[in-house]
Amino acid sequence: MNFTNKNVIISGGSQGIGLATAKAFIEHGANVLITGRNPETLQKAAEAINSSNLQILAADTSNLNGISVLEKWVAESGKKVDVLYLNAAIGVYAPIEHVTEADFDAQFNVNVKGHFFTLRQLIPHLADGASVIFTSSRVAAAAGIASSVYSATKAALNKIAEIAVNELAERKIRVNIVSPGPIQTPGLLTVASQEVQGFLASRSALQRLGNAEEVANTVLFLASDEASYINGADIAVDGGSIPYMLK
Ligand SMILES: NC(=O)c1ccc[n+]([C@@H]2O[C@H](COP(=O)([O-])OP(=O)(O)OC[C@H]3O[C@@H](n4cnc5c(N)ncnc54)[C@H](OP(=O)(O)O)[C@@H]3O)[C@@H](O)[C@H]2O)c1
């Protein structure tokens, strides 16, 4: 896979899956911009990758002001976007009766509204033939207790992606979804105890958690010319997991 001179934007690229994907794109020759809210985490990511092909931008994807920071950066770069990887998300886990309005809004704002409006604002900046990839989750098709809002955000994202496939086809822009199972990232490790991690690993046919590089490899493939006839796919990267409490 060769991404030389390709311009890649990754929302939520300062750690975890986004960071591993940024690293992989750079190893394959791309110019990459990563976003996140925390400037310190972004700076650490830049030091870890240590490449002049990487740029960082503090931009909160949960609201239109933050998204306009990204849009302005892209417009001023004067370059078309070849790969847009919409990856940022937050998860707050609680039974329905304990979910607060603030937690509900925060998750929908980042995980759904953020990606919807980032895509909307960047459509004019996408190259014809570009690739758009959403990070969803296997939970979109599951019904695990305490995950109602997070799972609903991912199911909503899948529907937006499905429709984007049809709306962007005229410009030969491919839109695909990557749906990870449990992946060892800072995001997962902060919400899942050792016991929960063990449980999640036991639900995988491979009997382990995944790592961020395994998701990154899938994103690169979907973005590459090798996947030129893959459009509207939802690729599970879960080691053959049995989603927790499938519908
Ligand atoms: N890890 C898993 O087991 C797993 C499983 C299924 C799906 N996923 C999905 O995979 C994606 C990445 O997950 P991860 O585990 O790598 O997450 P993570 O380690 O928590 O990293 C999340 C990234 O998103 C950024 N972010 C969060 N809110 C943001 C906002 N409002 N604006 C801009 N950036 C924001 C974070 O930076 P800041 O905090 O600095 O903003 C960070 O760079 C997510 O979509 C997640 O839902 C993960």
Q: State which of 135, 139, 234, 241 you would mutate to test the pocket of ligand 1, scoring each by most atoms of that ligand within 8 A of its C-beta.
A: 135
In this prediction, residue 150 has a pLDDT band, given cuts at 50, 70 and 90, of very high
d(CA 144, CA 245): 5
- Does the structure show a pLDDT above 70 at 93? yes
| 14-45 confidence digits (pLDDT tens) | 999 999 999 999 999 999 999 999 999 999 99
Question: In this structure, how many other beta carbons lie within 10 angstroms of the beta carbon of residue 247?
Answer: 6
pLDDT score recorded for residue 140? 95
Helix axes 16-27, 39-49, angle to 10 degrees: 30
Percent over 70 (pLDDT), the chain: 98
pLDDT score recorded for residue 244? 56
Interval between CA 11 and ligand 1 midpoint (Å): 9
- Does the structure show a pLDDT above 80 at 247? no
- Does the structure show a pLDDT above 50 at 87? yes
Q: Which atom of ligand 1 is nearest to the CA of 42?
A: 40
Whether 41 lines ligand 1, by a CB cut-off of 6 Å, is yes
Is 244 noted as a catalytic residue in this protein?
no
- Does the structure show a pLDDT above 60 at 245? no
Whether 147 lines ligand 1, by a CB cut-off of 6 Å, is no
In this prediction, residue 243 has a pLDDT band, given cuts at 50, 70 and 90, of low
pLDDT score recorded for residue 241? 80
Q: Classify residue 207 as left (phi > 0), alpha (psi -120 to 50) or beta.
A: left
Contact 123, 115 (CB under 8 A): no
Contacts of 12 (CB under 8 A, 6+ apart): 18, 35, 36, 61, 87, 88, 89
| 100-133 confidence digits (pLDDT tens) | 999 999 999 999 999 999 999 999 999 999 999 9
Whether 239 lines ligand 1, by a CB cut-off of 6 Å, is no
Q: State which of 15, 19, 64, 211 you would mutate to test the pocket of ligand 1, scoring each by most atoms of that ligand within 8 A of its C-beta.
A: 15
| 164-223 confidence digits (pLDDT tens) | 999 999 999 999 999 999 999 999 999 899 999 999 999 899 999 999 999 999 999 999
Set out the domains of the chain in order of their start, with CATH numbers. 7-237 (3.40.50.720)
Of 51, 47, 52, 55, residue with least CA distance to 76: 55
Strand partners, 26: none
